[in-house]
């Protein structure tokens, strides 16, 4: 029997732009995701986060779900433009109050809040001034972090500076499939450095206010496979992608230096002169924990000169590659099974990753801050959402965490992505990751079988069997029903019919 002690944190995660909606309310400023999602062709079906899950108005109900799930912790992100509309200058009191109330309600429910300061919704004014290509953005971020530590400090269990800077830099500035949609390889590398700098400056700023603050960063580690493990050329492709995707962040943040092979691999693109004297000492801050997001593995091979890089990152396709400097690396489709994202399912790689991080950074605990799966869920005639593949995915990955712990890895928590179906970036509402279903017509929340299964896990602290999905806790505010009352709540949606029709 796989069991977890009382100190291990079971949680679930969300991000501000993906769930909040209310993008123009109570003084919130525009973010790069507002601009990007409203750009024709940028997202699937032209979806935007204008309404999303309407969490901004329904947060009390959502805290009720979090409490009913028995979560120890909840990982949320603050929308920078909600609390500081232009990214600089005075705070927006209504925005600060929203998060203060939310954090208080979580605490009152016995749930520890983990707060991410940047989950991709940069204030648009900062992007207009150059975005993450501009060094000043790192300093603006530190000011915002300091202000949040002052305003919310005693309410936060752990501060996470950045979520997945890989996505911000390479999807935002190289392949352009995320906001701000730029396709400039040299800019992407400048963004990498300015994000690293922002992380270090923010940790310093938070600890100026709260000397004992628990600080972390969340990275999406690429667990790499060589197409032919016996081929040294393929092994070198693994090395190259490991450098640009993983070590570009762990190097400066955890070891105080950029990898030499990364500098060499990208020499034709940039001379890295944006790294100034003293920067690396700032970036390299002691952390309380390392956040690990893991979904699937990545297989590569060395491609001949002139052989275009085949598809890339598991994100939306683009003519421009996110893999800066890696024109001679081809990405090979892994064996299945796959989720609805087309991502392969490989739980054993999570054990491997956690053990590898423990070997490299033995004194740094890890937390799995995101793991989960999108599938094409349906509401059954019995009114329930039977999602056995998601239950299996969660089961197998939590077992993989337990296996890493048994072998010595210091893993302190696991956060299922996601609490709610939500705005999945460029895929809009067409991909559902929630353990709670959101009906995008009525905005009604319905627990999927995976939520019932997860609630059993949090209560018993033993990994339940995959068929152990019967409702066992009273669910607050989430009646089970097969169909929604016609039109209920639809008036608040920009295009409810369209979102519901493909749900
Ligand atoms: C991660 C993001 C998260 C969500 C999941 C599916 O890259 O951090 O917001 O989109 O992928």
Question: CB of 8 within 8 A of CB of 413?
Answer: yes
Q: What is the mean pLDDT of residues 97-115?
A: 98
What pLDDT, on the 0 to 100 scale, is given for residue 472? 86
Per-residue pLDDT at 491 exceeds 50? no
What pLDDT, on the 0 to 100 scale, is given for residue 476? 58
Q: What is the mean pLDDT of residues 203-225?
A: 98
Nearest CA to ligand 1 atom 4: 424
pLDDT tens for residues 157-204?
999 999 999 999 999 999 999 999 999 999 999 999 999 999 999 999
Tell me which of 12, 370, 416, 420 to substitute to probe ligand 1's pocket, judged by most ligand atoms within 8 Å of the beta carbon: 370
What pLDDT, on the 0 to 100 scale, is given for residue 249? 99
Q: Which two tokens stand for residue 439?
A: 């009906």
What pLDDT, on the 0 to 100 scale, is given for residue 474? 76
Ligand 1, CB within 6 Å, residue ranges: 15, 18, 163-164, 167, 220, 293, 370, 417, 424-425, 433
Per-residue pLDDT at 479 exceeds 70? no
Q: How far apart are CA 367 and CA 349, in angstroms?
A: 16
pLDDT tens for residues 379-435?
999 999 999 999 999 999 999 999 999 999 999 999 999 999 999 999 999 999 999
Q: How far apart are CA 492 and CA 349, in angstroms?
A: 43
What pLDDT, on the 0 to 100 scale, is given for residue 475? 72
pLDDT tens for residues 11-27?
999 999 999 999 999 99
pLDDT tens for residues 126-146?
999 999 999 999 999 999 999
Q: What is the mean pLDDT of residues 3-16?
A: 98
Q: Give residue 116 CA to ligand 1 midpoint distance, Å.
A: 13
DSSP 426: G
Q: What is the mean pLDDT of residues 191-220?
A: 99
Q: Give residue 22 CA to ligand 1 midpoint distance, Å.
A: 21
Q: Which of 359, 296, 360 is nearest to 331 (CA)?
A: 296
- Cite the DSSP H helix spans in 342-490: 348-360, 388-406, 449-460
Q: Give residue 77 CA to ligand 1 midpoint distance, Å.
A: 12
Given the DSSP bridges, would you call strands 329-332 and 297-302 parallel, antiparallel or unpaired? antiparallel
Q: What is the mean pLDDT of residues 67-83?
A: 98
Q: Which of 27, 16, 96 is nearest to 62 (CA)?
A: 16
Banded model confidence at residue 487, pLDDT cuts 50, 70, 90: very low
Per-residue pLDDT at 80 exceeds 70? yes
Q: Give residue 461 CA to ligand 1 midpoint distance, Å.
A: 26
Q: Which of 412, 410, 416 is nearest to 397 (CA)?
A: 416
Q: How far apart are CA 490 and CA 334, in angstroms?
A: 41
Nearest CA to ligand 1 atom 9: 15
Distance from CA of residue 98 to its chain's centroid?
A: 21
Question: CB of 191 within 8 A of CB of 197?
Answer: no
Q: pTM above 0.75?
A: yes
Q: How far apart are CA 420 and CA 394, in angstroms?
A: 15
Per-residue pLDDT at 306 exceeds 90? no
Identify the sign of the CA torsion 426, 432, 437, 440. positive
Catalytic residue among 25, 260, 348, 370: 370
What pLDDT, on the 0 to 100 scale, is given for residue 314? 62
- Average pLDDT over all residues of the chain: 93
Question: CB of 282 within 8 A of CB of 201?
Answer: yes
Q: In a 3-state reduction of DSSP, which class is residue 197?
A: helix
Q: What is the mean pLDDT of residues 259-288?
A: 98
Give the full edge-to-edge strand order of the sheet including 223-226.
223-226, 297-302, 329-332
Distance from CA of residue 473 to its chain's centroid?
A: 28
What pLDDT, on the 0 to 100 scale, is given for residue 483? 37
Per-residue pLDDT at 308 exceeds 60? no
- Cβ neighbourhood burial of 330 (10 Å; 0-12, 13-18, 19+): buried
pLDDT tens for residues 433-477?
999 999 999 999 999 999 999 999 999 999 999 999 999 887 755
Per-residue pLDDT at 307 exceeds 80? no
Catalytic residue among 164, 317, 348, 376: 164
What pLDDT, on the 0 to 100 scale, is given for residue 1? 82
Task: Confirm whether 370 is a catalytic residue.
Answer: yes
Task: Confirm whether 444 is a catalytic residue.
Answer: no
What pLDDT, on the 0 to 100 scale, is given for residue 496? 43
Banded model confidence at residue 310, pLDDT cuts 50, 70, 90: low
Q: Which atom of ligand 1 is nearest to the CA of 164?
A: 8
Q: Which of 79, 74, 118 is nearest to 95 (CA)?
A: 79
């Amino acid at each position: 029997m796989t069991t977890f002690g009382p100190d291990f944190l079971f949680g679930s995660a969300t991000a501000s732009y993906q769930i909040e909606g209310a993008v123009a309310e109570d003084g919130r400023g525009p973010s790069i995701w507002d601009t990007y999602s409203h750009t024709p062709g940028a997202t699937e079906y032209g979806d935007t986060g204008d309404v999303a899950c309407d969490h901004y108005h329904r947060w009390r109900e959502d805290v009720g779900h979090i409490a009913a799930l028995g979560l120890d912790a909840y990982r949320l992100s603050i929308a920078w433009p909600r609390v500081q509309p232009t990214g600089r200058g005075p705070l927006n009191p209504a925005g600060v109050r929203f998060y203060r109330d939310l954090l208080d309600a979580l605490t009152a429910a016995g749930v520890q809040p983990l707060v991410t300061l940047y989950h991709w919704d940069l204030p648009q004014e900062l992007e207009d001034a150059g975005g993450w290509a501009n060094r000043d953005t790192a300093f603006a971020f530190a000011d915002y972090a300091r202000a949040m530590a002052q305003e919310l400090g005693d309410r936060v269990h752990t501060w996470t500076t950045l979520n997945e800077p890989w996505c911000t830099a390479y999807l935002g500035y190289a392949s352009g499939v995320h906001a701000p949609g730029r396709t400039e390889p040299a800019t992407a590398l400048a963004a990498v450095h300015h994000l690293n700098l922002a992380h270090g400056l923010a940790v310093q700023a938070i600890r100026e206010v709260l000397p004992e603050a628990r600080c972390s960063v969340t990275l999406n580690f690429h667990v790499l496979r060589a197409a032919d493990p016996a081929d040294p050329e393929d092994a070198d492709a693994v090395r190259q992608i490991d450098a640009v995707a993983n070590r570009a962040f762990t190097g400066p943040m955890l070891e105080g230096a950029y990898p030499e092979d990364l500098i060499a691999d990208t020499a034709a693109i940039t001379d890295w002169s944006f790294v100034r004297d003293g920067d690396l000492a700032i970036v390299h801050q002691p952390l309380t924990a390392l956040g690990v997001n893991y979904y699937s593995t990545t297989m590569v091979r060395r491609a001949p000169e002139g052989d275009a890089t085949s598809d890339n990152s598991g994100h939306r396709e683009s003519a421009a590659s996110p893999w800066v400097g890696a024109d001679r690396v081809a990405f090979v489709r892994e064996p299945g099974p796959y989720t609805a994202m087309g991502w392969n399912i490989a739980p054993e790689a999570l054990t491997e990753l956690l053990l590898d991080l423990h070997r490299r950074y033995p004194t740094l605990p890890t937390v799995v801050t995101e793991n989960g799966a999108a599938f094409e869920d349906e509401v059954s005639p019995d009114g329930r959402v039977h999602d056995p593949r998601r239950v299996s995915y969660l089961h197998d990955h939590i077992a993989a965490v337990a296996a890493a712990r048994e072998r010595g890895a210091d893993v302190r928590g696991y956060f299922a992505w996601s609490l709610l179906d939500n705005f999945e970036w460029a895929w809009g509402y067409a991909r559902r990751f929630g353990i709670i279903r959101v009906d995008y017509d009525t905005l009604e929340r319905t627990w999927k079988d995976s939520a019932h299964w997860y609630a059993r896990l949090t209560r018993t602290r033993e990994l339940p069997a995959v068929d152990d999905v019967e409702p066992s806790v009273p669910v607050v505010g989430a009646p089970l029903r097969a169909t929604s009352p016609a039109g209920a709540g639809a008036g608040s949606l920009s295009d409810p019919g369209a979102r519901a029709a493909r749900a």
